[in-house]
Amino acid sequence: VLDYGVKKNIVRCLTDRGCYVKVFPHNTEASEILAWNPDGIMLSNGPGNPTAMPQEIETVKELAKGDTPMFGICLGHQILALSQGLSTFKMHNGHRGINHPVKNLVSGLGEITSQNHGFAVTKEDVDSNDLIELTHQHLNDGTVAGIKRTDKPVFSVQFHPEASPGPHDSRYLFDQFIELINQHKK
């Protein structure tokens, strides 16, 4: 886990699924993380403007060059997007609280989510990048709520699947991450 302000429940959601978790400080170099030989990399949530974190963006860009499964949440989602050449913008009104409706564009199902962010990924950049697929969309304002790489086991969401208390509609994302890890290990 790259710690940008990680919530304890993210670590709990991983350990509940049998993961041995090592938490790295936000400014850890990619080489140090890769030397640990992780089966998967979690990019945690956290506060603030993702463009103010150029070292972290470069680290994630370097990590994403490999084939290690990667899962980003909230700020981790934004940092992943920036590392892939997408842009972010400051929202007029951020998304705060529970009961935010999101559509999973892969399954077609709606999810009730918990959100807490003031920045979002620019949808036009997602639409114009052949290596990025929009996977989740906020139903109130159409903002990007999830993306994945089309050529690598890398994905991220803007909302909080680990929310506790909060809706658990999106906990399957941790299972999806573990499945990517298991496939990669084979």
**Residues designated as active site:** 74, 160, 162
Q: At 55, give phi and psi (nearest 5°).
A: -65, -40
Looking at residue 108, the DSSP 8-state letter turns out to be: -
Close Cβ partners of 166 (under 8 Å, ≥ 6 residues apart): 98, 114, 160
Residue 1 buriedness (CB in 10 A; 0-12 / 13-18 / 19+)? buried
Question: CA separation (Å) from 19 to 12, 88, 115?
Answer: 9, 31, 25
> How far is the C-alpha of 22 from the C-alpha of 39, rounded, in Å?
11
Q: Which helix (H) or strand (E) holds 57?
A: helix 54-63
> How far is the C-alpha of 101 from the C-alpha of 127, rounded, in Å?
21
Burial 113-143 (b: 16+ CB within 10 A, else e): bbbbbebbbeeebbeebeebebbbbbeeeeb
